[in-house]
């Protein structure tokens, strides 16, 4: 498809138009992190759409930490999902949606039982993504085969240049938004596209440089095979305080718990985020627990990403977004876990000095 261009001023007009019509969420900087905030006239000039991923995982828009999923027996749940626009998603965010899509609306995880709440939220959300320009130190997308710029999964994608943005249309939804604001856009010229490609190359190199010491000669999938008994899990989980923060912040961690309660006149069922790092996650009513030790649960989280998901849908369930590294109070870094697994298996790790 033909690529479009929008100048800086017209871009602001475009965002204004969106804010007038939809609930628009975009990253805003607070201390060291970017958080998604609802865009309004006060914060509209503070949004940071083209730097790096927000610390908020996108899943919270589709799988909120707590959601009512049933009012049973005497009433039926009225559920309202608003149309919204997410501005400033990054490729790792889009990539993570492939995982949650597969679980909540795909064929491999219960064909007959898709999650209607997730599906509705996905349908009513427009995703406007941006190329990453200044990745975080903990970002390692390239180590797991993810690029810092999107190729698919967006409605519109923007690539920043000094003079404005190149726009790529990814869906009918995106196409419609463009048509509705046609006067703001022009055709992108080849030299602009060349500049965009240069930027992309620069960012790829930067990420590879940042991760030079962690790059193994084999994929994480291969490194984790048959690693259950490795001492690496114990060593690295020593600093883990079992908080489950890595689960909550991870865009591809999708586990949850259903809980029931009774209010004055009805029974309610809620969906609640759960965390596989927590002791009781897999314990059965009779008391048996397949993963009683922390190092087993710690290993399980990464086995889920690089063994369970690849076996099921042939995709790694990790996008290299580095959020789990950024939030861990124990300063645990999964890149180091894999580096040590590589060392243990005598597989080269780390690029030329």
Partner 1 sequence: MNNPYEPIKTQILKIIPETAQIKTFVLKPENHFEFNAGQFIQLTIPGVGEGPFTPSSSPYEKEKMEVTIMQVGKITSTLHNMKENDLVGIRGPYGNRYPVDEWRNREILIVGGGVGLAPLRSLFLTLTYNLKEYKKIVLCYGAKTPEDIVYKESILNKWQKEFAGKISFRVTVDVGDEKWKGKVGLVTTTLDGIDEEVSNISESIAVVCGPPVMMKFTTLKLLDVGYTPEKIYLSMEKNMSCGIGKCGHCQLGKFLACRDGPVFTYEQLKDIPAIWD
Among 234, 332, 325, 242, residue whose Cα is nearest residue 278: 242
Mark 255-294 with x for binding to ligand SF4 (rule: CB under 6 A) and - for no binding: ----------------------x-----------------
The reply on whether position 285 binds partner 1 by CB under 8 A is yes
Contact 227, 351 (CB under 8 A): no
The reply on whether position 337 binds ligand SF4 by CB under 6 A is no
- Residue 254 contacts which entry, ligand SF4, partner 1, none (Cβ below 5-8 A, type-dependent): partner 1
The reply on whether position 97 binds ligand SF4 by CB under 6 A is no
The reply on whether position 9 binds partner 1 by CB under 8 A is no
Residue 297 CA neighbour count, 13 Å, CB half? 23
Pairing of β 4-7 and β 164-169: antiparallel
- Residue 64 contacts which entry, partner 1, ligand SF4, none (Cβ below 5-8 A, type-dependent): none
Residue 200 CA neighbour count, 13 Å, CB half? 19
Q: Which of 151, 194, 308, 344 binds partner 1 (CB under 8 A)?
A: 308
Shorter beta-carbon distance to ligand SF4: residue 150 or 174: 150
Radius of gyration of the chain (CA): 22
In order, the DSSP letters of 73-89 are SS---------EEEEEE
What SS3 class is residue 50?
Answer: coil
Shorter beta-carbon distance to partner 1: residue 76 or 191: 76
- Residue 308 contacts which entry, ligand SF4, partner 1, none (Cβ below 5-8 A, type-dependent): partner 1
The Cα 347–Cα 341 span in angstroms is: 9
Q: Which of 258, 344, 348, 351 binds partner 1 (CB under 8 A)?
A: 258
Q: Which of 98, 109, 193, 243 binds partner 1 (CB under 8 A)?
A: 109
Those residues whose C-beta lies under 8 Å from the C-beta of residue 13, and which sit 6 or more positions away, are 181, 184
The reply on whether position 104 binds partner 1 by CB under 8 A is yes
The Cα 341–Cα 323 span in angstroms is: 21
Binding segment toward partner 1, per CB under 8 A, in 52-60, 238-246, 273-281, 321-329: 273-281
Mark 303-322 with x for binding to ligand SF4 (rule: CB under 6 A) and - for no binding: --x------------xxxxx
What SS3 class is residue 193?
Answer: helix
The reply on whether position 245 binds ligand SF4 by CB under 6 A is yes
The Cα 78–Cα 10 span in angstroms is: 39
The Cα 222–Cα 144 span in angstroms is: 12
Binding segment toward partner 1, per CB under 8 A, in 123-131, 145-153, 182-190, 268-276: 268-276
Q: Total binding residues for partner 1 by CB under 8 A?
A: 49
Q: 88: alpha, beta or left, given left = phi > 0 and alpha = psi -120 to 50?
A: left
- By CB under 8 A, name the binding residues for partner 1: 69-70, 72-73, 77, 79, 103-104, 109-110, 113-116, 228-229, 254-262, 267, 269, 271, 274, 276, 281-292, 296, 300, 304, 307-308, 311-312
- By CB under 6 A, name the binding residues for ligand SF4: 240-246, 249-252, 277, 305, 318-324, 327-330, 332
């Amino acid at each position: 498809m033909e690529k479009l261009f929008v100048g800086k001023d017209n871009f602001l007009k475009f965002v204004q138009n969106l804010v007038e019509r939809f609930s628009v969420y975009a990253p805003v900087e607070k201390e060291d992190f970017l958080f998604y905030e609802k865009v309004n006239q006060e914060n509209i000039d503070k949004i940071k759409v083209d730097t790096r991923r927000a610390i908020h995982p996108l899943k919270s828009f589709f799988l909120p930490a707590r959601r009512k999923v049933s009012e049973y027996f005497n009433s039926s749940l009225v559920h309202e999902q608003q149309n919204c626009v997410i501005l400033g998603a990054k490729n790792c965010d889009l990539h993570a949606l492939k995982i949650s899509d597969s679980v909540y609306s795909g064929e491999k995880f219960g064909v007959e039982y898709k999650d209607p709440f997730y599906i509705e939220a996905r349908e009513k959300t427009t995703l406007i993504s941006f190329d990453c320009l200044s990745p975080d130190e903990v970002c390692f997308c390239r180590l797991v085969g993810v690029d810092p710029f999107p190729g698919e999964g967006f409605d519109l994608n923007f690539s920043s240049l000094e003079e404005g943005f190149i726009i790529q249309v990814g869906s009918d939804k995106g196409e419609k938004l463009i048509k509705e604001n046609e006067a703001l856009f022009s055709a992108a010229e080849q030299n602009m596209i060349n500049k965009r490609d240069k930027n992309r190359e620069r960012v790829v190199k930067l990420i590879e440089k940042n991760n030079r010491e962690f790059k193994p000669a084999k994929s994480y999938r291969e490194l984790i095979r048959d690693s259950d008994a490795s001492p690496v899990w114990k060593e690295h989980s020593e600093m883990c305080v079992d908080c489950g923060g890595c689960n909550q912040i991870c865009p591809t961690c999708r586990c949850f718990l259903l809980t029931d309660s009774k209010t004055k006149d009805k029974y309610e069922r809620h969906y609640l985020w759960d965390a596989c790092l927590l002791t009781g996650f897999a314990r059965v009513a009779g008391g048996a627990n397949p993963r009683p030790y922390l190092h087993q649960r710690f290993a399980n989280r990464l086995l889920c990403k690089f063994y369970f998901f690849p076996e099921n849908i042939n995709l790694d369930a990790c996008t290299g977004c580095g959020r789990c590294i950024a939030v861990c109070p124990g300063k645990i870094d999964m890149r180091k876990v894999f580096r040590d697994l590589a060392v243990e298996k005598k597989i080269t790790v780390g690029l030329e000095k």
